[in-house]
Structure 1
Amino acid sequence: MLSVLAKYHRFCYFAGWARYRAAPVAFNPEDVGVKLCTHLAYAFANVDDSGTKIVPADPLDDPDIYKRFTDLKKKDPDLKLLISIGGWNDSPRVFSNLVSSVNNINTFAENTISFLRSRNFDGLDVDWEFPADRGSPRSDKRRFTRMIQLIREAFDTEASRTGKDRLLLTAALSPGRYQVRLSYEPVKLASYLDLINLMTYDMHGLWDGLKTAAHHAALYGTRTDRTRNVDFAATYWASLGVPRDKILLGVPFYSRTYTLSEGSVSGPGRAGNYTRHSGTLAYFEVCKILQDGATGRRIDSQKVPYLVSKDQWVGYDDEKSLAAKVHYVVDHGFGGVMVWALDLDDCKGICGKTFPLINAVNRAFRTFTGRRRYIPLFG
Structure 2
Amino acid sequence: MATRSPEHRKAIVYDPLQAHGTTADNYQGFMSKKSNRVCLYFCCGFIMSTIFAFVSYSLVHGVFLTDETVDVPADRVVIPEKSCGKRVVAYHDLITNREITGSQLSKLTHLILLPVQVQPNGTLSFRSEGEERKFQIIVKRAEKVPDLKIMFSFTDSRKNHNHFSKIVEKRETKENLINSITSFIMTHHLDGVDVQWRWPETETDFFNFIDFCKDLQRKLQALAKSIKRMTPFTLSVMFPRQKPSINFNDILYYVDFITIETVYYDMWREQFPNETVHFCPLYSKKFGKGSLDYTMREYSCFTNQPNKLNILVEFIGRFWENVIEPQNSSKTIGLKVGPMNGKVDWMPWSKVIKWDMSTASWDDEAKMSYIWDAYQRKYMVFESERSLQEKIKYVLEKNIGGLAVWRIDHDDYNDTMLSVLTTAKQCLGNYSDDVNYTCN
Check whether TM > 0.5.
Answer: yes
Match of 2:116 in 1: 45
The range that moved more, 73-82 or 231-240, is: 73-82
Match of 2:264 among 189, 202, 215: 202
Task: Confirm or deny: 8 A CA contact 1:201 1:251 kept in the other structure.
Answer: yes
Q: Which amino acid aligns with 1:312?
A: K
* SS at structure 2 position matched to 1:29: coil
Q: Which amino acid aligns with 1:40?
A: L
1:159 aligns with 2:221: no
Task: Please tell me whether the aligned partners of residues 91 and 112 of structure 2 are also in contact (alpha carbons under 8 angstroms).
Answer: yes
Deviation, structure 1 residue 6: 4.7
Partner residue, 1:264: 336
1:60-71 pair list within 5 angstroms: 60-62=130-132, 64-71=133-140
Counting only pairs closer than 5 Å after superposition, residues 346-357 of structure 1 correspond to structure 2 as 346=412, 348=413, 354-357=414-417
Selected match of 2:299 from 231, 234, 237: 237
Equivalent residue letter for 1:356:
T
Contact map agreement 2:317 2:347 (CA 8 A) in 1: yes
Question: 1:366 is aligned with what amino acid?
Answer: Q
On the 8 A contact 1:142/1:185 being kept in 2, the answer is no
| 1:328 shift after superposition | 0.7
Whether the 8 Å CA contact 2:372–2:380 is kept in 1: the answer is yes
Q: Partner residue of 1:81?
A: 150
Change (3 A) 1:207 1:38: same
Under a length normalisation based on structure 2, what TM-score does the superposition of the two structures give?
0.72
Task: Note if contact 1:331-1:371 (Cα within 8 Å) is conserved in structure 2.
Answer: no
Of residues 203, 212, 215, the one that matches 1:150 is: 215
Kindly indicate whether the alpha-carbon contact (under 8 Å) linking 2:317 and 2:382 is maintained by their aligned counterparts in 1.
yes
1:91-106 pair list within 5 angstroms: 91-106=160-175
Aligned to 1:188: 250
Q: Which has the higher strand share?
A: 1
Say whether 1:280 aligns with 2:346: yes
2-structure distance, mates of 1:89, 1:373: 34
Q: Superposed, which structure 2 residues align to 1:227-376 within 5 Å?
A: 227-262=289-324, 263-266=335-338, 279-290=345-356, 295-309=359-373, 310-346=376-412, 348=413, 354-363=414-423, 365-366=425-426, 369-373=428-432
Amino acid at match of 2:369: P
Change in 2 beyond 3 A, CA 1:55/1:207? farther
The one-letter amino acid paired with 1:214 is V
The 1-side partners of 2:102 and 2:370 are apart by 28
1:139 match: secondary structure: helix
Q: Distance in 1 between matches of 2:221 and 2:152?
A: 18
From the superposition, tell whether residues 89 and 247 of structure 1 become closer, same or farther in structure 2 (CA, over 3 Å): closer
Q: Are 1:29 and 2:94 counterparts?
A: no
Unmatched runs of 5 consecutive residues or more in structure 2: 1-79, 325-334, 435-440
Deviates more, 1:32-41 or 1:321-330: 32-41
Runs of 4+ in 1 over 4 A off after TM superposition: 266-270
Deviation, 1:261, is: 3.6
> For the aligned residues, what is the CA RMSD?
2.4
Change (3 A) 1:259 1:138: farther
> Structure 1 pair 265/147, CA: closer, same or farther in 2 (3 Å)?
farther
Per-residue CA deviation, residues 151-171 of structure 1 (Å, 9 max, x unaligned), is: 111111111222123321111
2:141 equivalent in structure 1: 72
Is 2:79 the partner of 1:14?
A: no
Residue identity in the other structure for 1:83:
F
- Structure 2 residue matching 1:326: 3-state secondary structure: helix
In 2 relative to 1, CA 32–171 (structure 1 residues): closer, same or farther, beyond 3 Å? farther
Deviations 1:301-356 (A, max 9, x none): 1211111232322211111111111111111111110111211111x2xxxxx011
1:258 to partner: Cα distance: 2.5
Q: Helix, strand or coil for the counterpart of 1:5?
A: coil
| 1:47-79 deviation per Cα after TM superposition (whole angstroms, max 9, x unaligned) | 1122x12221333222x1121111123431321
Task: Give the structure 2 partner of residue 351 of structure 1.
Answer: none
Aligned residue identity for 1:370: G
C-alpha distance in 2, partners of 1:365/1:30?
19
Match of 2:196 in 1: 127
AA paired with 1:311? R
Letter in 1 for 2:85: K
Q: Could you say if the C-alpha distance between residues 32 and 202 of structure 1 is closer, same or farther in structure 2, counting changes exceeding 3 Å? A: farther
- SS of 1:7's equivalent in the other structure is coil
**1:258, 1:266 within 8 Å by CA — same for their partners in 2?**
no
Aligned residue pairs: how many? 340
Whichever of the two has the greater Rg, that structure is 2
Change (3 A) 1:60 1:6: farther
TM-score normalised to structure 1 length: 0.83
Counterparts of 2:382 and 2:405 in 1: how far apart (Å)? Answer: 13
Cα displacement string for residues 4-54 of structure 1 (whole angstroms, at most 9, x for unaligned residues): 4352100011111111xxxxxxx123476242111111121121122x122
Which letter maps to 1:172? M
